[in-house]
């Protein structure tokens, strides 16, 4: 088995990860362009941890402007086997109050202005997204949330909207009618790309507000969100430190195939593949392309 390497993508309010030993910011080149920032690499109890601020330090990238492909590619190049995505979200359910962490297990992708795959003309691949999160990784996150006495719920559907504007009232009601639990702007295509990169993935949705549907809260209050963001960031740092301490040091096989998603996914015959695209896929798909 391979050695486990924990990746963390920090969303709004999380631009650094304190507590890492021997930590340094490292620039990693990607053939897919510039990632959101350098990665911060360090160790917690001997486990290698790779942190990437999704919006960049200082929050310089809007959700639609993030280079999701480069972000996942550099995490793969750093050896990440297990990726925890921590994201600020709105709640679409009364019982999911601000401050609650939702361990998401499904997604609905309503984004439309983003590159969503590493593959395309010259090397076509289709990966399954039926089960987009790795249950063993979720187990570890849940145990950590319980140990840190955090308010959380396991399971939920994340509606990914394009943004950067928040939902209209009609949209918010529509997404609630679909049975969605939380709404955010960043976990798609991130989850899809992590699957293509054969990285075990999970999302921790940190609820900051009730979106626009709630009759007692009305439109999204930015000042209130910022206060909850601050509290959530502190809890998220505790959560990640606990996950790092408890994650198995040997990477265990994913029961839903997150770490072997490309096994039979590439459809283009070897002789018909575009060499330029194949060269860009060295980190993402090297395991199967070389085979």
Catalytic annotation, residues: 209, 211
Q: What is the distance between the alpha carbons of residues 250 and 186, in angstroms, rounded to a whole number?
A: 29
Token pair in block for residue 11: 């969303």
> Binding site annotation covers 287?
no
> Residue 230: enclosing H or E segment and its boundaries?
helix 222-246
Rounded alpha-carbon distances, angstroms, from residue 220 to 12, 90, 157, 167: 15, 9, 20, 9
Secondary structure (3-state) at 272 = helix
> Binding site annotation covers 54?
yes
> Binding site annotation covers 77?
no
> Binding site annotation covers 186?
yes
Instruction: Please give the biggest Cα pair distance in the chain.
Output: 61
> Binding site annotation covers 210?
yes
> Binding site annotation covers 57?
no
> Binding site annotation covers 203?
no
> Binding site annotation covers 246?
no
Which of 156, 172, 14, 147 minimizes the C-alpha distance to 96? 156
> Binding site annotation covers 253?
no
Token pair in block for residue 269: 């015959």
Numbered residues of the known binding site for substrate: 185, 209-211
Numbered residues of the known binding site for phosphate: 12, 54-55, 87-88, 186
Numbered residues of the known binding site: 12, 54-55, 87-88, 185-186, 209-211
């Amino acid at each position: 088995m391979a050695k486990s390497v924990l990746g963390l993508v920090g969303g709004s309010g999380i631009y650094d990860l304190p507590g890492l030993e021997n930590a340094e910011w490292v620039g990693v080149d990607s053939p897919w362009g510039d990632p959101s920032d350098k990665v911060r690499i360090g160790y917690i109890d001997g486990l290698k941890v790779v942190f990437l601020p999704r919006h960049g330090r200082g929050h310089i990238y809007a959700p639609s402007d993030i280079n999701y492909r480069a972000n996942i590619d550099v995490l793969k190049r750093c050896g990440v086997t297990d990726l925890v995505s921590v994201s600020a979200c709105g709640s679409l359910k009364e019982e999911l109050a601000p401050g609650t962490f939702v361990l998401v297990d499904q997604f609905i992708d309503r984004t439309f202005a983003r590159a969503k795959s590493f593959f395309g003309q010259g090397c076509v691949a289709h990966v399954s997204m039926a089960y987009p999160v790795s249950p063993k990784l979720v187990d570890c996150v849940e145990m950590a949330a319980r140990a840190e006495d955090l308010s959380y719920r396991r399971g939920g559907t994340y509606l990914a909207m394009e943004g950067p504007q928040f939902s209209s009232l009609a949209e918010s009601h529509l997404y609630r009618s679909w049975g969605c639990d939380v709404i955010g702007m960043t976990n798609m295509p991130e989850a899809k790309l992590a699957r293509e990169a054969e990285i075990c993935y999970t999302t921790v949705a940190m609820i900051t507000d009730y979106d626009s549907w709630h009759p007692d809260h009305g439109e999204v209050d930015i000042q209130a969100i910022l206060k909850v963001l601050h509290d959530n960031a502190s809890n998220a740092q505790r959560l990640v430190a606990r996950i790092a301490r408890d994650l198995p040091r040997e990477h265990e096989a994913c029961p839903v195939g997150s770490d072997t998603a490309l096994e039979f996914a590439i459809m283009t015959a070897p002789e018909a593949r575009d060499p330029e695209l194949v060269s860009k896929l060295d980190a993402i798909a090297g395991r199967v392309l070389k085979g």
